[in-house]
Amino acid sequence: MRNISLRVCLIGAGNVATHLGAALRQASCQIVGVYSRTYSHAAQLAQQLACNYPFDVIEQLPVADIYLFAVKDDVLPSLVKLVAQCKESAGALFVHTAGSVPLAVLSEQVGRAAVLYPMQTFSKQRAVSFAHLPLFIEASTTEALAVVRELASSLSDQVTELTSEQRKMLHLAAVFACNFSNHCYALAAELLAKEHINPDCLLSLIDETAQKVHEMPAVSAQTGPAVRWDESVMARHLELLQDNPALQQVYQVLSKSIHQLHHDSIRS
Amino acid sequence: MRNISLRVCLIGAGNVATHLGAALRQASCQIVGVYSRTYSHAAQLAQQLACNYPFDVIEQLPVADIYLFAVKDDVLPSLVKLVAQCKESAGALFVHTAGSVPLAVLSEQVGRAAVLYPMQTFSKQRAVSFAHLPLFIEASTTEALAVVRELASSLSDQVTELTSEQRKMLHLAAVFACNFSNHCYALAAELLAKEHINPDCLLSLIDETAQKVHEMPAVSAQTGPAVRWDESVMARHLELLQDNPALQQVYQVLSKSIHQLHHDSIRS
């Protein structure tokens, strides 16, 4: 990681823009403007980043070396088009941060295009260190790749080049590893609430589950009734969920999926 | 935690018996025998615990202060009955370690009965510290409760008394928080394998997901397409899974469940 001094204009003011903006500022980038369709969001993030230039009008965006898009996937194409109409003449690099959007969404509209996808779960209220955070990059030209690599390397020592196809699968995997596992924590806490048990008692189990996969593949780390196919325990669990058919379905689908993944080893 | 000197006979030689046996030995309990229906398993665990008494015949079990059952739920009732026929006359305490089995399975057969449920995921090949591990206890008499509390407190500073009903729900919650979240890691690794991406790149995401819930409720920590109900991203993900209907079902059921849990906050 090393300091660089690129002028970055942030398009978006959500979780990713907030965390990435702060990390870029720390890496000595200049944040020359923050855009959001909602002016108050742009103003709030600009203030956090000690930048005096919040915008809600594309035409007013300042000149920058990099326009960094961190917005919802479905508004990305139209925003890129608008920014390109106003700003591409200056030869800026357009970068998006989305896991599941191909580079083509940019490169079909501008000559210098790149992706910088930070694989992390960001909430505004929680600080995240970028130092070892996996960043995945891709670019439309060798020169653009060099710039985005420099940008990414100023943030983290874990920078990997991936194709759009690979990144799409990585993003899907991240949904399983993060969003779905976190939802399992949330459902567990809900169940405990019914019996007035403090959900904090789950923390050492959650930690050990996460730590285990540093040492062995998750498939080998699996324990519990589904991998043993302990039907009496599973039947008792389903009975406990009898007033909640949706949760019964989650239980059954995941147990079946565990069984399926271990099918060969069970048979052998 | 303090050292005690009770004579414990282990019934079972699986993951829980292995880890609990080692922890009890460290806490200065005497492991006076190890029973398994498969003699080689009893012999292996006895050797690990520096105990010279492996058994595969109930009638030969030695006299002990505590018979500690760590076996599959469905063999527990018949094993308890057999051990009780041979050994209850000596007034030993019978303890089981199962999350989803009520105390009654013991207390219907013996006078002094208790439960010691360690809420953790145990694999034989990974060491686990008991010092702060949540242990949940229950007993048939005040005296039995005092003994099992002493036993539990010799292992961990996190000892909580719960009823069988509460423990049943806790065990179900543990399946969600541990087995199901670990399975999500395993599915993520499977997806990455298709694109020849090293699954270790998921570790910082997995760690951050687990760490976040130390600071905020899991339901508030949720990120990703399902909580935003970003249909274009979800459609692309389902398309990526088109050759795997079972995984599509997992994706859909969990996304729907995330949406359901956030339904009220989305509406408000």
Residue B256 in contact with residue A246, Cβ under 8 Å?
A: yes
CB-nearest partner of B250 from A212, A221, A257: A257
Beta-carbon contacts below 8 Å between A and B: 324
Average pLDDT on A43-52 reads 95
Q: What is the pLDDT of residue A165?
A: 96
Residue B107 in contact with residue B160, Cβ under 8 Å?
A: no
Q: Which two tokens stand for residue A15?
A: 């979780």
The SS3 call for residue A116 is strand
Cα B5 from Cα B23, distance rounded (Å): 13
Nearest residue of B to residue A167, measured between CA atoms: B195
The SS3 call for residue B141 is coil
Cα A255 from Cα B28, distance rounded (Å): 39
H-run or E-run covering A114: strand A113-118
Nearest residue of B to residue A203, measured between CA atoms: B214
Cα B251 from Cα B144, distance rounded (Å): 47
Specify the residue for token string 């260190």. Answer: A129
Q: What is the pLDDT of residue A92?
A: 93
Q: Does residue A81 carry a pLDDT above 80?
A: yes
Give the CA dihedral A82, A84, A87, A93, nearest 10 degrees. Answer: 130
Q: Of all residues in chain A, what percent carry a pLDDT higher than 90?
A: 86
Q: What is the pLDDT of residue B127?
A: 87
Contact check, Cβ <8 Å, B205/A121:
yes
Q: Does residue A268 carry a pLDDT above 80?
A: no
Q: Does residue A67 carry a pLDDT above 90?
A: yes
User: pLDDT digit string (tens) for A181-197?
Assistant: 999 999 999 999 999 99
Cα A222 from Cα B184, distance rounded (Å): 11
Q: In chain B, which residues have their Cβ closer than 8 Å to the Cβ of A205?
A: 119-121, 134, 174, 177-178
Contact check, Cβ <8 Å, A257/B237:
no
Contact check, Cβ <8 Å, B190/A249:
no
Q: In chain B, which residues have their Cβ closer than 8 Å to the Cβ of A187?
A: 173, 176, 257, 261
The gap from C-alpha B267 to its chain's centroid, in whole angstroms, comes to 37
For chain B, how far is it from start to end, CA to CA, in angstroms?
Answer: 48
Q: What is the pLDDT of residue A58?
A: 93
User: pLDDT digit string (tens) for B35-90?
Assistant: 999 999 999 999 999 999 999 999 999 999 999 999 998 899 999 999 999 876 67
Question: In terms of pLDDT, which residue wins out, A151 or A86?
Answer: A151
Cα A96 from Cα B201, distance rounded (Å): 20
| One-letter amino acid for residue A144 of the chain | A
CA distance B63 to chain A (A): 31
Average pLDDT on B104-113 reads 95
Nearest residue of A to residue B135, measured between CA atoms: A201
Q: What is the pLDDT of residue A91?
A: 87
Report domain A168-267's class.
mainly alpha
CA distance A139 to chain B (A): 19
DSSP 8-state secondary structure symbol assigned to residue B157? S
Q: What is the pLDDT of residue A128?
A: 87
Q: In chain B, which residues have their Cβ closer than 8 Å to the Cβ of A263?
A: none
CB-nearest partner of B176 from A184, A204, A258: A184
Query: What is the pairing mode between strands A93-96 and A113-118?
Result: parallel
Q: Which two tokens stand for residue A225?
A: 């009734």
Q: Of all residues in chain A, what percent carry a pLDDT higher than 70?
A: 96
Q: What is the pLDDT of residue B126?
A: 86
Q: Which two tokens stand for residue A230?
A: 């302990």
Residue B52 in contact with residue B22, Cβ under 8 Å?
A: no
Contact check, Cβ <8 Å, B15/A223:
yes
CA distance A42 to chain B (A): 20
Q: In chain B, which residues have their Cβ closer than 8 Å to the Cβ of A240?
A: 168-169, 172
Q: Where are the alpha helices (DSSP H) in chain A?
A: 15-26, 39-48, 76-87, 104-107, 142-153, 164-174, 181-194, 203-212, 218-221, 225-228, 231-240, 245-261, 263-267
Q: In chain B, which residues have their Cβ closer than 8 Å to the Cβ of A246?
A: 256-257, 260
Cα B256 from Cα B268, distance rounded (Å): 18
Q: In chain B, which residues have their Cβ closer than 8 Å to the Cβ of A249?
A: 253
Domain boundaries, chain A: 7-162, 168-267
Q: What is the pLDDT of residue A1?
A: 45
Contact check, Cβ <8 Å, A261/B187:
yes
Q: What is the pLDDT of residue A29?
A: 92
Q: Which of A25, A63, A57, A22 is nearest to A38 (CA)?
A: A57
Q: Does residue B2 carry a pLDDT above 70?
A: no
Q: What is the pLDDT of residue A88?
A: 66
Nearest residue of B to residue A100, measured between CA atoms: B233
ipTM of the predicted structure? 0.90
Average pLDDT on B218-244 reads 93
Specify the residue for token string 């026929």. Answer: B85
Tell me phi and psi for residue B44, to 5 degrees.
-65, -45
Q: What is the pLDDT of residue A232?
A: 87
CA distance A89 to chain B (A): 31
Residue B1 in contact with residue B150, Cβ under 8 Å?
A: no
Q: What is the pLDDT of residue B230?
A: 87
For chain A, how far is it from start to end, CA to CA, in angstroms?
Answer: 48
Q: What is the pLDDT of residue B1?
A: 44
Give the CA dihedral A124, A129, A130, A131, nearest 10 degrees. Answer: 170
Cα B147 from Cα B115, distance rounded (Å): 11
DSSP string, A235-265: HHHHHHTTT-HHHHHHHHHHHHHHHHHTHHH
Contact check, Cβ <8 Å, A223/B261:
no
Q: What is the pLDDT of residue B264?
A: 54
Q: Which of A211, A72, A123 is nearest to B218 (CA)?
A: A123
Mean pLDDT of chain A: 93
Of the residues B78, B155, B181, the best mutation for testing chain A's interface (the one with the most A CB atoms within 10 Å of its CB) is: B181
Average pLDDT on A64-77 reads 94
Q: Does residue A2 carry a pLDDT above 60?
A: no
CATH (residue range A7-162): 3.40.50.720
Cα A218 from Cα A210, distance rounded (Å): 9
Q: Of all residues in chain B, what percent carry a pLDDT higher than 90?
A: 86
Nearest residue of B to residue A128, measured between CA atoms: B208
Return the half-sphere exposure (C-beta side, CA atoms, 13 A cut-off) of residue A224: 32
User: pLDDT digit string (tens) for B156-196?
Assistant: 999 999 999 999 999 999 999 999 999 999 999 999 999 99
